[in-house]
Amino acid sequence: MATAYYFIPMGLNARVESAYQEAVASVPGATALINVSISEDWSWWFVGTSRCTKISGDAIKEAT
């Protein structure tokens, strides 16, 4: 039986923040992203769901 958990993006902020940090860290010297796009894929499993949040964008180094 489906519950609101499957239709309401619970925990989305934490997944987006984690994906953003990983994207920035994957480019040496980058401090931020611009032109950002976000996608989320999820799959049903026998015992629940799995969700994958992907962020892509242009890495930049902010001037200090």
Residue 34 parent element (H or E): strand 32-45
CA dihedral over 13, 16, 22, 27, signed as positive or negative:
negative
Between vectors from CA 16 to CA 12 and to CA 19, what angle results, nearest 5°? 140
Q: Using one digit for the tens of pLDDT, what is the confidence trace for 24-34?
A: 999 999 999 99
Q: Which domain holds residue 56?
A: 4-60
Q: Using one digit for the tens of pLDDT, what is the confidence trace for 2-59?
A: 555 556 666 678 888 998 999 999 999 999 999 999 988 878 777 777 788 889 999 9
- Number of structural domains, the chain? 1
